[in-house]
């Protein structure tokens, strides 16, 4: 799927893939839906997410970019939920992520988390995101060769100056890494709104490290699972209280 700014990239992809290519403009989403249902399409390249205009601060341009990005993906994923065969979706963006001091267009940043959620919902779906630098056409041509050959990352990869960066998460120890005193008070009292996964872990951490008293405020009624978390906090050296409220 392409839009007017991505015509050149679309031609390069078509050349590398050969004759088995169906070119679909973003305005032809109904046509794509029909193809997915009636035919067996193995790979979908979405390049409607490429943006040449770095000054995309106007409301009209921003809305149009979202129409070509997250909205296209949302509509596509809805159709793919009913497809029983494996489909590989390759999204090509540009300058969403900032490397060094280059210009940044974060309009399509939401595609990352949306794509991960979509893959969790549909085991037949694989989504890869490649973020290029649109100011360097020679490097784009080299990157496209590897992208088409599926020799890049499976989730998200940032390509700059012929280098491929893959984002990874590392465990961060607050006190030990910074070498400075934490801003939490020993035996302090802390209010945590909500009792989801993050709230529970923060409560347990504060209890274990600072013998804190945790005041949980949540809309739901107190149940066995929540009581178990509060008991765990007390066993770690803290105290826990629960208040049902909507704030």
**Tens digit of pLDDT at every position of the chain (247 positions):** 556 666 667 667 777 666 567 777 767 767 777 877 777 788 888 877 777 666 655 555 777 788 888 888 888 888 888 778 888 888 888 888 888 777 788 888 888 888 888 888 888 888 988 888 876 666 666 777 777 766 545 577 888 887 888 777 777 665 555 555 567 889 999 999 988 888 899 999 999 999 999 999 988 889 999 999 999 999 999 999 999 987 7
Q: Which residues contact 195 (CB under 8 A, 6 or more apart)?
A: 216, 218, 220, 226, 229, 242
Integer Cα distance of 115 and 70 in angstroms: 10
Contact, 95 vs 107, CB < 8 A? no
Q: How many CB atoms lie within 10 A of CB 223?
A: 10
How is residue 2 annotated by DSSP?
B
Integer Cα distance of 134 and 188 in angstroms: 51
By the 10 Å C-beta count (0-12 exposed, 13-18 middle, 19+ buried), 15 is classed as exposed
Give bridge partners of residue 242 from the DSSP assignment. Answer: 216
Integer Cα distance of 107 and 41 in angstroms: 28
Integer Cα distance of 202 and 109 in angstroms: 27
SS3 state at 206: helix
Give bridge partners of residue 241 from the DSSP assignment. Answer: 215
Token readout for 121 is: 């919902």
Contact, 232 vs 204, CB < 8 A? yes
Integer Cα distance of 100 and 91 in angstroms: 23
Nearest to 135 by CA among 13, 57, 52, 56: 52
pLDDT of residue 178: 53
CA atoms within 13 A on the CB side of 126: 10
pLDDT of residue 204: 94
Contact, 226 vs 216, CB < 8 A? yes
- Cα 159 versus chain centre, distance: 17
Q: Which residues contact 141 (CB under 8 A, 6 or more apart)?
A: 12
Q: Read off the pTM.
A: 0.62
pLDDT of residue 60: 56
């Amino acid at each position: 799927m392409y839009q007017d700014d991505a015509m050149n990239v679309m031609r390069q992809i078509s050349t590398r893939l050969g004759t088995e290519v169906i070119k679909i403009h973003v305005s032809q989403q109904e046509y794509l839906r029909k193809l997915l249902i009636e035919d067996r399409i193995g790979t979908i390249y979405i390049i409607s997410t490429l943006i040449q205009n770095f000054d995309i601060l106007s409301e009209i341009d921003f809305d149009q970019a979202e129409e070509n990005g997250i909205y296209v993906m949302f509509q596509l994923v809805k159709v793919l939920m009913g497809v029983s065969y494996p489909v590989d979706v390759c999204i090509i963006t540009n300058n969403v992520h900032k490397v060094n001091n280059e210009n940044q267009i974060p309009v399509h940043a939401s595609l990352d988390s949306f794509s991960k959620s979509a893959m969790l919902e549909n085991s037949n779906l694989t989504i890869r995101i490649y973020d290029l630098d649109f100011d360097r056409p020679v490097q784009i041509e080299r990157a496209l060769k590897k992208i088409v050959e599926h020799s890049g990352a499976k989730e998200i990869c940032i390509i700059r100056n012929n280098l491929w960066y893959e984002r990874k998460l590392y465990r961060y120890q607050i006190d030990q890494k910074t070498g400075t005193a934490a801003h939490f008070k020993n035996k302090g009292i802390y209010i945590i709104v909500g009792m989801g996964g993050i709230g529970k872990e923060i409560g347990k951490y504060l209890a274990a490290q600072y013998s804190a008293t945790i005041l949980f405020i949540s809309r739901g009624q107190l149940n066995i699972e929540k009581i178990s978390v509060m008991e765990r906090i007390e066993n770690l050296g803290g105290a826990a209280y629960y208040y049902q409220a909507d704030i």
